[in-house]
Amino acid sequence: MLIEISAAEGTAEALVVRPSTGTGPFPGVILYMDAFGLRPRIEEMAQRIADWGYVVLAPNVFYREGTAAELAPAMDMTTQDGREDAGKAAFPRVGRLTSDKALPDIDAWLGALQGLDGVAPGPVGTFGYCMGARLAVRTATAHPEAVVACGGFHGGGLASDADDSPHLGLGQARAHFVFGHADQDNSMDLDAVSRLGAALDDAGLVSTNEVYAGAPHGYSMADTSMFHEEATERHFAELRDLLDGTLKA
């Protein structure tokens, strides 16, 4: 179901997905979408994760640009040309979602999740895909008292030279982290992976920080030409271990 959240600069939609069975309450988690937005693939992934025993909130982080329906790709992204065409519209939005805009929104997403019926009081988890991995890390570093699990998959720009690079805040975090990087990813090359690993180690955080061999950027998105089934299933297994080990321990 879609709900509305009062965010920093207007009303934002968010997808809320609950377990198919069970009475709860259940731990809450925030799923940050990739650049292509809320769409059936994100709902499919959210339902799979919810059925592990979680309430999943997936916000439309691009609400300033339009509704989820307005921003959803209209073309077939399972072809390379279709994905590239979708990217021409989607990727500029990523650049416009700067950290000074994202951080106040993160406060709203977290507050909305914690206020949902059926969400257990206490700590939460967060994870994201592509640019959503950056938002997940920012959530964990901005709210260390609340976030105990953070995952990032085929994320880009997690450890850049920018003054507000997400890895620079890891010293504030307390969560357990799991990263599954795409192989030969221009947005997160091996130097950046090493830089991220060093920041995690320097902060004394429990983490895994691995490159999935042969997996392209966007590997978890079955509605695009980048889908890689083996890497996707690996990511689901590692994400479940992370969430179950922190939120159900």
Q: How many domains does the chain have?
A: 1
pLDDT at site 50: 98
- Angle, vertex CA 109, rays to CA 34 and CA 24, nearest 5: 100
Residue 78 has pLDDT above 90, yes or no: yes
pLDDT at site 96: 97
Average the pLDDT over 195-207 and give the result. Answer: 98
Which residue type occupies 152?
Answer: G
What CATH number is attached to the domain comprising 76?
3.40.50.1820
Are 170 and 203 a contacting pair, CB within 8 Å?
yes
Residue 149 has pLDDT above 90, yes or no: yes
How confident is the prediction for the chain on average, in pLDDT? Answer: 97
pLDDT band at residue 188 under the 50/70/90 scheme: very high
pLDDT band at residue 249 under the 50/70/90 scheme: confident
Average the pLDDT over 199-221 and give the result. Answer: 98
Neighbours of 13 (CB within 10 A): 17
Average the pLDDT over 169-178 and give the result. Answer: 98
Secondary structure of the chain in HEC code, one letter for each residue: CEEEEEECCEEEEEEEECCCCCCCCECEEEEECCCCCCCHHHHHHHHHHHCCCCEEEEECCCCCCCCHHHHCCCCCCCCHHHHHHHHHHHHHHHHHCCHHHHHHHHHHHHHHHHCCCCECCCCEEEEEECHHHHHHHHHHHHCCCCEEEEEEECCCCCCCCCCCCHHHHHHHCCCEEEEEECCCECCECHHHHHHHHHHHHHCCCCEEEEECCCCCCCCCCCCCCCCCHHHHHHHHHHHHHHHHHHHCC
Kindly state the percentage of the chain with pLDDT values over 90: 99
**pTM for this predicted structure:** 0.97
CA distance 42 to 40: 5
Residue 56 structural domain = 2-248
Q: Name the one residue in this structure whose structure tokens are 């959803």.
A: 72
Q: What is the pLDDT of residues 106-141, one digit of tens each?
A: 999 999 999 999 999 999 999 999 999 999 999 999
Q: What is the pLDDT of residues 13-67, one digit of tens each?
A: 999 999 999 988 999 999 999 999 999 999 999 999 999 999 999 999 999 999 9
pLDDT at site 82: 97
Average the pLDDT over 178-192 and give the result. Answer: 98
Q: What is the pLDDT of residues 95-114, one digit of tens each?
A: 999 999 999 999 999 999 99
pLDDT at site 23: 87
Average the pLDDT over 80-109 and give the result. Answer: 96
Average the pLDDT over 78-95 and give the result. Answer: 95
CA distance 37 to 105: 16
Are 132 and 107 a contacting pair, CB within 8 Å?
no
Are 37 and 132 a contacting pair, CB within 8 Å?
no
